[in-house]
Amino acid sequence: MNLTILGCHSATPRVSAHPTSQVLEISGHIFLIDCGEGTQVQLRRSKVKFSRIKHIFISHLHGDHFYGLIGLISTFRLLGREADLHVYGPKGIKEAIVLQLKLGKSWTDYDLFFHELESVNSEVIFEDDSVVVSTIPLDHRIYTNGFLFREKPGLRKLNFEAAVKHRIDKSYFNKLKQGADVENAEGKIIPNDRVTFPPDPPKSYAFCSDTAYYPEIVPLIENVTVLYHESTFLESHHHLCLTTKHSTAKEAGVIAKKAKAGTLILGHYSGRYRDLELFRSEAKEVFDSVELAEDGKQFKF
């Protein structure tokens, strides 16, 4: 599971502060999460192959999470994209994109599917053999969802020596990986766990931005491997969280702790702070494993 932060700053794009966008590589997928203005240039900087992006998840329709989407969709067309593109985001996203394409008479040659969200309850929005994506309803000034990406358990791992020792024919190895008990050369049933190891524990990633402190999300993200939680402010500006519906670094730490997350990544910093290490210190008061998002930074889990 690889996470590339394309932008992690709030509000207005600046020369060295890009608005929210992330690339999550999980189970062979390249998922794009949020798409602030300038995302397509950040994708180029991080050398992400445009054609590998098939699914884009938009948390909410504030500009710093959304205004780069129309440009990216247009660029896909100009680059001769043929693959389908699926966009998941709040109701209204389709109208905004389609209107702009229409005004420019710039229809896409590829198939563009919109999956508009309006439920206030968590729902599964994408699922295949290897991964499942569900929404995390958040508490912001407008309708907003976080997203939970969960790997499905993989195949069991063959204990090759044990399988040979138990005289199991090679043709049964795939069945073993799938968890089945199989017959050996003497016709004896060998229990699966004697000749396989358990699969790697499935990993998961929760993206929670933008949101006020909202402990209602804890049951949805319990035991998540990595939690990205916005921390627009420090506690010294806690009063601003109430009016803007954002969180402090400490509140993000509390959510990570309650959810028993593996690691917390902070981001969506307000432009008023010069020293981002203050965010880490504050969250560390309540939660141990804290990382800071930075534009262009890669995390491997």
Q: Phi-psi bin for 216: left (phi > 0), alpha (psi -120 to 50), beta?
A: alpha
**Residue 52 touching a second copy (CB under 8 A):** no
Q: Catalytic residue at 64?
A: yes
**Residue 78 touching a second copy (CB under 8 A):** yes
Query: Could you tell me where the beta strands, DSSP code E, fall in 241-297?
Result: 263-267, 290-292
Residue among 95 and 111 whose Cβ is closer to a second copy: 95
Shortest Å distance, C-beta 225 to a second copy? 31
Identify the CA nearest to 146 among candidates 218, 232, 235. Answer: 218
Chosen residue from 9, 55, 62, 81 binding a second copy by CB under 8 A: 62
Catalytic residue among 34, 64, 210, 295: 64
128-147 positions binding a second copy, by CB under 8 A: 141-142
| DSSP label at residue 169 | -
Burial annotation 158-189 (CB, 10 A radius, 16+ → b, else e): bbeeebeebebeeebbeebbeeeebebeeeee
Over the window 18 to 47, marking each residue x when it contacts a second copy by CB under 8 A and - when it does not, the resulting string is: -------------------xx-xx--xx--
**Residue 120 touching a second copy (CB under 8 A):** no
**Residue 81 touching a second copy (CB under 8 A):** no
Where are the alpha helices (H) located in 109-246, listed in sequence order? 160-165, 173-177, 218-221, 238-244
Shortest Å distance, C-beta 66 to a second copy? 8
Q: Which stretch binds a second copy (CB under 8 A): 69-77, 168-176, 237-245, 281-289?
A: 69-77
Identify the CA nearest to 93 among candidates 114, 73, 74. Answer: 114
Chosen residue from 11, 162, 212, 276 binding a second copy by CB under 8 A: 11
Q: What is the Cα–Cα distance from 182 to 165, expressed in whole angstroms? A: 14
**Helix (H/G/I), strand (E/B), else coil: 86:** strand
Which residue do the tokens 């709030």 mark? 10
* Active site (catalytic) residues: 64
Residues that bind a second copy (CB under 8 A): 11-15, 37-38, 40-41, 44-45, 60-63, 66-68, 70-71, 74-75, 78-79, 90, 92-93, 95-96, 99-100, 103-106, 141-142
